[in-house]
Amino acid sequence: MNASTVVRLVSGREIRAKVTSKSFLLATGGLLAIVVLGGLLIKVVGTSDTLKVGVVPETASLSSSVETLAGKTDIDTKKVADRKAGEKLVKSGDLDALLVGTPTKLTVVVENDLDATLESVFTALSQQQALAGEISSLGGDPDKVAGSLASAVPTVKELDPKEQDGGQVVAAYVVGILIFLGLITAGQLVAQGVVEEKSSRVVELLLATIKPWQLMAGKVLGIGAVGVLQLVVVVAGGVGSATAFGLLDTSELNLGATALAAIGWFVIGFASYALVLAGLAALVSRQEDVSSVISPVITLMVVPYVIGVSVGTWDPENPLVVWFSRIPFTSPMVMPIRIAGGGVAAWDVALSVGLSLAVLPILVWLAGRLYSNAVLRTGDRVSLVAALRSEPKSKN
């Protein structure tokens, strides 16, 4: 049997065991539910500040003007059959205001006080209609004048950077959290699987027919495939929710690039961390000792995650965030957060990917040597130096 077939069989065994487990199904379902319900919550909360204005047939022509004059304020106009029907909607709270009368003589119907934002909008609208009436009486074209007024805007120079897009901030948070949870979970599964086979002596039977590196490669690939599957399901749920609920209608977020970046960087991060964790886990023979050998790697994962979600989500061009997004091991946590925030140059992403891929051959050699030299040695913990120096005892 050739090496690729062996690796495929080992990885297939890992995939079947993990995908059919209750823990995988519950974790994936739970994450998917959190993402979808989170999107629904954002939709509900986000639309709570939208002001609703009713227009009767006589004032329906003013709908676009109302929404234009609103500027950055969210105002939705709704056509109602007549004033009586509109007043019922105002009393029930379904409308914040009702615009009746005629374009030249407007009346605003409200339940109690008129919202300050709506007051300014309706005042500007009344002035606009009055101006149009005066222009018409003088023989001018009101539409032409309105177009000239709309285009007559000052040039704005911002001294402070603009407020970051809310959709980008939320996406950066979600991407950072999902990648961190996915890498932590999958990485620990690799380490625990190595020790489980070693402590049960299953590894001795397996290595009687296959080579150590083939067993390690199959395990890493299998668990990695399961991790990617889980992430794809959750990301797809997030993308579907954002699209269905219209969460990104006013956002500059590049949803496709963000989703692909999350999956791609998860693959790179998992390959980096899983190889190291597999090699280190082979140094011990008991599950109780796993944490002692993988804790430095877990710490290495936590530091960039904290920097990414606490700083990178709001300031993706912060120098510390930028450098962490380029360094191997930290880039899988930080670069996707920067990508979600937008504005990352293609050369920057290519540099980060290239550096991470460049260290993979070294990690493959290091992990393979640790695994081969330590996985058959039971009992006390094997020191890192001893594992690196000793020669493999198996002829396979």
Average pLDDT over residues 39-64: 77
Does residue 395 fall inside a structural domain? no
Confidence of residue 35 (pLDDT cuts 50, 70, 90): confident
pLDDT digits (tens, 9 = 90+) for 104-135: 788 888 887 787 778 888 887 777 777 766 66
Q: Between helices 255-281 and 166-199, what is the axis angle to 10°?
A: 20
- Asked whether the predicted pLDDT for residue 68 surpasses 50, the reply is yes
Give the end of a domain, one of 117, 148, 179: 148
Domain stop point among 148, 182, 207: 148
Distance CA 17, CA 35 (A): 26
Identify the CA nearest to 176 among candidates 31, 304, 43, 327: 304
The amino acid present at 342, given as its one-letter code, is G
Asked, for residue 79, whether it belongs to a domain, the answer is yes
Structure tokens at 204: 């001795």
157 lies in some domain:
no
Are 191 and 279 a contacting pair, CB within 8 Å?
Answer: no
Number of domains present in the structure of the chain? 2
Residue 232 domain boundaries: 3-43+167-389
- Per-residue b or e along 250-284, where b marks 16 or more CB atoms closer than 10 Å to that residue's CB: ebebbbeebbebbbbbbebbbbbbbbbbbbbbbbb
Q: CA-CA distance, 258 to 240, in Å (whole number)?
A: 14
Do residue 78 and residue 96 come from a single domain?
yes
Distances (CA, A) of 48 to 45, 76, 177: 5, 12, 27
Q: Tell me what pLDDT residue 153 has.
A: 47
Residue the block writes with tokens 């699987």 = 193
**Sheet of 105-109: strands edge to edge?**
75-79, 51-55, 97-102, 105-109
Domain final residue, candidates 84, 115, 148? 148
158 within domain boundaries: no
Same-domain check for residues 183 and 303: yes
Indicate if 283 and 217 belong to the same structural domain: yes
Evaluate whether 245 touches 43 at the Cβ level (below 8 Å).
yes
pLDDT value, residue 390? 61
Cα 140 to Cα 146: distance, rounded to the nearest angstrom: 11
- Determine, yes or no, domain membership for 268: yes
Same domain, 63 and 104: yes
Q: Is the pLDDT of residue 73 over 70?
A: no
pLDDT for residue 38 is more than 70: yes
The CATH number linked to 141 is 3.40.190.10
> Are 138 and 203 contained in the same domain?
no
**What's the mean pLDDT in 185-212?**
84
Check whether residue 87 and residue 198 sit in a common domain: no
- Overall average pLDDT of the 366-378 stretch: 86
Token pair 């007043």 is at which residue?
87
Contacts of 283 (CB under 8 A, 6+ apart): 293, 370, 374, 381, 382, 383, 384, 387
Mean pLDDT of the chain: 83
Is the pLDDT score of 272 beyond 80? yes
pLDDT of residue 74: 73
- Least confident interval from 157-171, 289-303, 365-379: 157-171
Residues 232 and 316 grouped into a single domain: yes
Cα distances (angstroms) measured from residue 106 to each of 93, 115, 267 = 21, 16, 61
The answer to the question of residue 396 being in a domain is: no
Same domain, 326 and 369: yes
pLDDT digits (tens, 9 = 90+) for 314-363: 888 899 999 999 999 999 999 999 999 887 999 999 999 999 999 999 99
Q: Is 381 exposed, middle or buried (0-12, 13-18, 19+ CB in 10 A)?
A: middle
In a domain, 371, yes or no: yes
Alpha helices in 249-289 (DSSP H): 255-281
Residues 284 and 249 in one domain: yes
Same-domain status, 225 and 366: yes
**pLDDT at res. 152:** 46
For residue 145, is pLDDT > 60? no
For residue 303, what pLDDT band results from cuts at 50, 70 and 90? very high
Q: How much of the chain, in percent, has pLDDT values that exceed 70?
A: 86
Per-residue confidence (pLDDT) for residue 7, from 0 to 100? 87
Residues 90 and 192 occupy one common structural domain: no
Question: Does 288 share its domain with 376?
Answer: yes
**Stretch (H or E) spanning 103:** none
Alpha helix ranges (H) inside 254-345: 255-281, 290-307, 319-324, 331-341
* pLDDT range class, residue 394, cuts 50, 70, 90: very low
The pLDDT of residue 215 is above 90: no
As given in the structure block, the two tokens for residue 381 are: 């913990």
